[in-house]
Amino acid sequence: MKIMTLENLELKGNTEQSILDGALNAGYSFQYSCKNGQCGVCKATLISGEVKELQPQLALTEWDVAKNKILTCCCEPMTDVLIDAEELTALKGMETKTLPARINKIN
């Protein structure tokens, strides 16, 4: 078991589980969208510890990597980690919906 400390929250995660999935499975609300490294919405700063990429972090720029940014959807903690990520408790329990839409005009 690894412990992820997220703004004073400790989550016990399983191996081969992303930081994001560990947080969501423990009942915390974190910002995310695609869950596959494409969008960058789940970007956080790795303050300490080591992570392993479960899938490519495509949304990270060279600047992000230099600033120790990670995508929580793509990284598994290899040691205890401390990240700077915003926990969105105000959104907890909101139902996620995907709705069809059509663009009529782009200006």
How far apart are the C-alpha atoms of 64 and 70, rounded to whole Å? 8
State in Å, rounded, how far the first CA of the chain is from the last one. Answer: 52
Structural domain contains residue 13 = yes
Place of tokens 């990284």: 75
Question: Is the model's pLDDT at 6 over the cut of 90?
Answer: no
Question: Is the model's pLDDT at 33 over the cut of 70?
Answer: yes
Q: Are 33 and 41 in contact (CB under 8 A)?
A: yes
User: Range of 46's domain?
Assistant: 2-91
Q: What is the average pLDDT value for the chain, to the nearest integer? A: 83
pLDDT of residue 28: 79
CATH number of the domain residue 61 falls in: 3.10.20.30
Question: Is the model's pLDDT at 24 over the cut of 60?
Answer: yes
Number of domains in the chain: 1
Structural domain contains residue 102 = no
Structural domain contains residue 99 = no
Average pLDDT of the residues in 55-68: 95
Structural domain contains residue 105 = no
Question: Is the model's pLDDT at 1 over the cut of 50?
Answer: no
